[in-house]
A and B are shown apart, each in its own frame.
Chain A
Amino acid sequence: LAKTTQPISMDSYEGQEVNITCSHNNIATNDYITWYQQFPSQGPRFIIQGYKTKVTNEVASLFIPADRKSSTLSLPRVSLSDTAVYYCLVGDLHSNAGNMLTFGGGTRLMVKP
C-alpha cells in the first residue's frame, strides 16, 4: 500500500483558498487518490477522488501532476465550517488491497475569522 505524508496542521482565514498537499512517492500504476473530510464527533465524509490531472466537483479540486507522486486538495474560499481534518488515501480500488486502505493522521485545518 502506498504510504502517504501530509502536513499535520494548517491555518487559514475565511475567504482564502487552501491547498493541502499529500506526498505518495510509491504510488502504483493502478492506485487512485481519494480525500476525506472529518468533523469532530462525526465519521469521515468523501470529498473527491482522482487518478491523474485535475478533478473538480462542487466542493473541491484535486490536482495530480504527471508523475502522480503527490496530489493537492484545493478548497476555494474556505469558511469557518471547513475547519476539519482532511485525509489523503491512496490505493488500488479494484484489488483486495483496496479494501484495506487506512487513514493516516490527516491534516487538521483551522479556519479563522
Chain B
Amino acid sequence: NAGVTQTPKFQVLKTGQSMTLQCAQDMNHEYMSWYRQDPGMGLRLIHYSVGAGITDQGEVPNGYNVSRSTTEDFPLRLLSAAPSQTSVYFCASRARKGEKTYEQYFGPGTRLTVT
C-alpha cells in the first residue's frame, strides 16, 4: 500500500491564482481530511469527509473547496490564492466509523507559497 499520497510536494502561486491539491489513499478509508500547518504552529482542520459524496467544514474552511467523488480521492481547491494561505497542507485518512481507533494516516504534505 502506498498509504496517503499528496501532489504536488511544493507549489508557488501568485495572489489570485487557483489550484487544486491532490490527495489519494489506497486503504479504503472512509474518513479523509485536510489540515494546514503554519510555521511553528499546530495543525488546523480545513475540511473533512466521512465518505464519498459527503463533505463538511472544519475550523478554517474559508477560501477552500473540497469534493469527494470517490472513496480514494479528496482534492482541495484554493479558489483565489492569498498570501495568508502560505502554509504546509496535510491530507489524512482513517478507517470507518465504529472502529475503536482514531489512528489517522497522514500524507507527506504540500508546501505552498503564495506571493
Are B44 and A89 within 8 A (Cβ)? no
B109 at the interface (CB under 8 A from A): yes
Q: What's the Cα separation between A99 and B42 when bound, in Å?
A: 17
Are A102 and B106 within 8 A (Cβ)? no
Chain B positions 43-77 with a Cβ under 8 Å from a chain A Cβ: 43-45, 48, 50, 56, 58-59
Are B59 and A49 within 8 A (Cβ)? no
Chain A's interface size range is: 20 to 34
Chain A residue at minimal CB-CB distance from B40: A105
A76 at the interface (CB under 8 A from B): no
Chain B residue at minimal CB-CB distance from A48: B103
A74 at the interface (CB under 8 A from B): no
Chain A residue at minimal CB-CB distance from B101: A49
Chain B nearest CB from A104 CB (Å) reads 5
Are B42 and A46 within 8 A (Cβ)? no
Over the window 82-99 of chain A, the binary record of Cβ atoms lying under 8 Å from chain B Cβ atoms (1 yes, 0 no) is 000001010101101011
Chain A nearest CB from B77 CB (Å) reads 20
Q: Inside 8 A of B107's CB, which chain A residues have their CB?
A: 43
Flag the segment in B11-19, B78-86, B92-100 that touches A. Answer: B92-100
Are A99 and B104 within 8 A (Cβ)? no
Q: Inside 8 A of B102's CB, which chain A residues have their CB?
A: 32, 34, 46, 49, 89, 91, 93, 98, 101
Are A93 and B101 within 8 A (Cβ)? yes
Interface residues, chain A, with chain B CB atoms under 8 Å away: 32, 34, 36, 41-46, 49, 87, 89, 91, 93-94, 96, 98-106
Q: Apart from A43-B92, A102-B43, what 17 extra A-B contacts exist at CB < 8 Å?
A: A42-B106, A42-B109, A43-B108, A46-B103, A46-B104, A87-B42, A93-B102, A94-B97, A94-B98, A96-B50, A99-B50, A100-B45, A100-B48, A101-B45, A102-B44, A102-B59, A103-B44
